[in-house]
Amino acid sequence: MEDVKAYIESGILELYVLGDVSPAEKQQVEEIALKYPVVKAELDAIEQSMEFYAEENAIEPPEHLRNRILGSLLTNFSDDNNFPTPTHANRDNVVPIATPKKEKINFYKYAFAACLALLIGCTIALVNVYKRLQLSDTQLSAMQAQNQHFSTTVSAKDDELNLLRDTSYKLIRLKGTAKSPNSALTVAFSPSKHKVIIDMNGSKMPVNDKAHQYQLWALVGGKPVDLGVFDATADSSGFKNMKAIAAADAFAVTLEPRGGSANPTLSEMMVLGNF
């Protein structure tokens, strides 16, 4: 009972009647008033005196207002839409008023959140675009490399075709000797142009090791003349220009120590062909 008395004297009931309590306090007052008739009676007395006070301070509204207001209430009197539906019947209509200041802070809060979301979105988009750009760059450089490879191949093929069309060239097929019966090499020789070209594509020379190299010889009047060295690899291709010579009776290839020798090592002769 002491608690109830203290509660009454706290002044909360007055604030409740004046509409100056939070929704939580409002609910609390209503619950306590239901529980303690003393509080209920106190509330009633406060309400009554405030009602009287308001009556004492009443201002009679202009007479035309009565018709206007009653009119606005009664015009739609028969309109069923006007009657509260059960969905909002139980809703509390007294809502605490948000101060404008708080609204402003709220606005900035939302604006900030929106900016942050936008920033995150932009960053993700940027990262995605950057990844795609990198991918495109890689693809582009691969395409360029491929393109270059093609143009090189095409120009090499062009050269080969020109060579084949050139009637001054004679093709000499060097055949394998007893030492290497499966070897073969094609030499194109133009006496008028002083040019010796070997066809690496069609060569069937065994792959040489690092210490040795093949050396092409021309036999001129029974004497061997050095026409340069070459390597046979698994993927050797294209034409290779050798040293110039005006005339030759035959061509031969020997396996020599790397860099070539002054005189052919006849025991290492791989292929031979007469002009």
Does residue 49 bind another protein (CB under 8 A)?
A: yes
Give which of 215, 225, 205, 224 is closest to 253, Cα–Cα. 215
DSSP at 253: E
Per-residue binder mask for another protein (CB under 8 A), 151-190, x = binder: ----------------------------------------
| Stretch in the footprint of another protein (CB under 8 A) among 52-60, 123-131, 138-146, 187-195 | 52-60
262 torsion bin: left (phi>0), alpha (psi -120 to 50), beta (else): alpha
If you count them, how many residues does the chain have? 275
Give 19 or 206: the residue with its C-beta nearer to another protein: 19
Q: How far is the CB of 136 from another protein (least distance, A)?
A: 52
Pick 14 or 160: Cβ nearer another protein:
14
End-to-end CA distance of the chain: 135
CB of 2 vs another protein, minimal distance in Å: 18
- CA geometry: angle at 97 spanning 92 and 98, to 5°? 125
**Helix or strand holding residue 117 (H, E):** helix 100-165
Site for another protein in 97-156 (CB under 8 A): 97, 99-100
What is the contact mask toward another protein in residues 53 to 92, using x (rule: CB under 8 A)?
xxxxxxxxxxx-xx-xxx-xxx--x----xxx---xxxxx
- Which residues share a beta bridge with 172? 187
Q: Of 244, 199, 197, 252, nearest to 222 (Cα)? A: 252
**Dihedral of the CA atoms 146, 149, 153, 158 (nearest 10)?**
100
Specify the residue, 105 or 122, whose C-beta has the smaller distance to another protein: 105
Judged by CB under 8 A, the number of residues near another protein is: 56
From candidates 52, 108, 112, 130, binder to another protein by CB under 8 A: 52
Q: Which residue number, 33 or 216, has a Cβ lying nearer to another protein?
A: 33
- Judged by CB under 8 A, the stretch of 14-22, 183-191, 194-202, 227-235 that binds another protein is 14-22
Which residues, in sequence order, are CB contacts of 143 under 8 Å at separation 6+?
none
- 105 close to 111: Cβ distance less than 8 angstroms: no
Which strand (E) or helix (H) includes residue 143? helix 100-165
Which residue, 92 or 235, has its beta carbon nearer to another protein? Answer: 92
* Cα gap 271→275, rounded to integer Å: 13
The residues in 15-34 that bind another protein, with binding defined as CB under 8 A, are 15, 17-20, 30, 33-34
Is the CB of 48 or the CB of 138 nearer to another protein? 48
Residues in contact with another protein by CB under 8 A are 9-11, 14-15, 17-20, 30, 33-34, 43-63, 65-66, 68-70, 72-74, 77, 82-84, 88-95, 97, 99-100
